[in-house]
Amino acid sequence: MKHFILGLAATLMITTAQAEPTATGDLGLVIERAKGSVLLVDQSDRAALARIEGLGDLSHASLVYSPDERFAYVFGRDGGLTKIDIVTRQIVNRVVQAGNAIGGAISDDGKLVAVSNYEPGGVRVFDADTLEMVADIPTDSKTIGLVDAPGRRFVFTMWDTGETWIADFAKGAPEITKIPDMGKNPYDALITANGRTYITGLFGEDGLTALDLWAETPEPIRVLPDYGRGQEEMPVYKMPHLEGWALTGREFVLPAVGHHEVLWIDADTLTETGRTKTHGQPVFAMARPDGRQVWVNFAHPLNDTIQVIDSVSKQIIHEFKPGPAVLHMEFTPRGHEVWISVRDANKVMVYDTHSFEKLREIDADSPSGIFFTARAHRTGL
C-alpha cells in the first residue's frame, strides 16, 4: 500500500506500521484529552494500534467520520478542526477556525463538515475534502446542539436567543430557516435516527422543546413543561448530554437536569411515561443497540459508577464502579460489548453487556470520548 508522507503532525506508533491495506469497519478513536492526541483502537482485538498527536485542546472534543470510514474530523475546544486518515494513521489537514468550539457534524452526503462555535458564535461549514470554508453563518450567540439532518441540512440552536436554525445546503449556498421561541438557554440537542424529531433541553426554564422536521413549517412543541430544575434552584455539577440519549422501542430515555433520575418519554406523543431514580445526576443515558438496556454514567462527585437499566421494567438491573471519572461509553455496533473511558485511571475498559464481565483494560492518557467508525452511517452522530 502506498503511504502518504504528510508531515503535518507527529504520529507515535504503538505497533509497527501496517504493510497491507486495512479495513476500517472494526476501528475507532479514543480522545486523549490531556495531551491533544487520539488513540486508534481495534474492536475485535480489543487493542490500541496507534497514537496520533498534535490535535490541540481536546478538553471537550468530539468527532465524525466520512462515509467510507477512512477519515475522522475532530472538533477541538480551541476551535481546531482536524482531519485524520485512520488508514495511514496521520493528520492530513488542520485548521483553527474559531476561538472556542463545541462540536460539529457532517452532511448526509459526506461533502460538508460544520462546526458549532461559542466564540465568536455561529456555525462555519467546510469542504470535507480540503477543509476550505464554504459558509460562515453568524448567529450573535453561542451555538449548541448542531446535528446533521437528511437533505444536506444542519440544525443548530442558540444559547443566548433561544432560536433554532435550519441551514439547507441542497442548492449550494445555505438557505436559513429561523424558528424562534424554543425556550430559555437551550444547552444541548438530539435528532432521531430518521431525521424527523429534533429535541433541545432547556437550562433556563423547565422542560424541553421538540421540532417535527418533516413539517412544512416546523413549530416548537413543548415537552414536559413542568419538569426541570423547578422553582427551587438545584445544583448542576455537569450538564447532561442529550447526544447521549436513548431510544428503546417506542420511548426516549433522557438524562434529567439537576435530578438523580432519567426520564422516559413516548416517542410518538412526547408525553412522559416514567422516571427511574439513579445513583446521581446522569450525564449520558445510552441505549444498547438492541434497545433492551440503558447504561447511565454520572456527574462529579458520583462519577465512578455506572448503572444499567432494563428498558422493559425501567428498573436498575446492575451497578458497578469501573473507576474514578467515568466520562463516556460506546457500544460495539451490535451491542455485545461496551467500551468505557475512565479518565483518572488512564484506562479504557471493555465489558460484556450480557454477563457484565470485564474483558480488557487498555492504557490511554486521560481518555474521554470513544467513537467507533460505525457512526459514519448514522444520522446525528
List, for residues 287-296, the tens digit of each pLDDT value: 999 999 999 9
What is the per-residue DSSP string for 96-117?
E--SEEEEEEE-TTS-EEEEEE
**How distant, in Å, are the alpha carbons of 47, 95, 222, 266 from that of 207?**
42, 37, 7, 15
Give yes or no for a contact between 213 and 198, defined as CB atoms under 8 angstroms apart. yes
Whether the per-residue pLDDT at 336 is higher than 60: the answer is yes
- Mean pLDDT (whole number) for 326-340: 97
Question: In sequence order, what are the residues at sequence separation of 6 or more whose Cβ sits closer than 8 angstroms to the Cβ of residue 217?
Answer: none
- Mean pLDDT (whole number) for 95-107: 93
Q: Report the chain's mean pLDDT, rounded to a whole number.
A: 90
Residue 278's pLDDT band, with cuts at 50, 70 and 90, is very high
Of 380 and 213, more confident: 213
Longest dimension (CA), the chain: 63
Amino acid at 104: G
Whether the per-residue pLDDT at 255 is higher than 70: the answer is yes
- Mean pLDDT (whole number) for 11-28: 65
Structure pTM?
Answer: 0.91
CA distance 60 to 331: 20
The angle at the Cα of 225, spanning 247 to 266, to the nearest 5 degrees, equals 25
Of 327 and 381, more confident: 327
Q: What is the pLDDT of residues 170-227, one digit of tens each?
A: 999 999 999 999 999 998 898 998 999 999 988 888 888 999 999 999 999 999 887 7
Whether the per-residue pLDDT at 230 is higher than 90: the answer is no
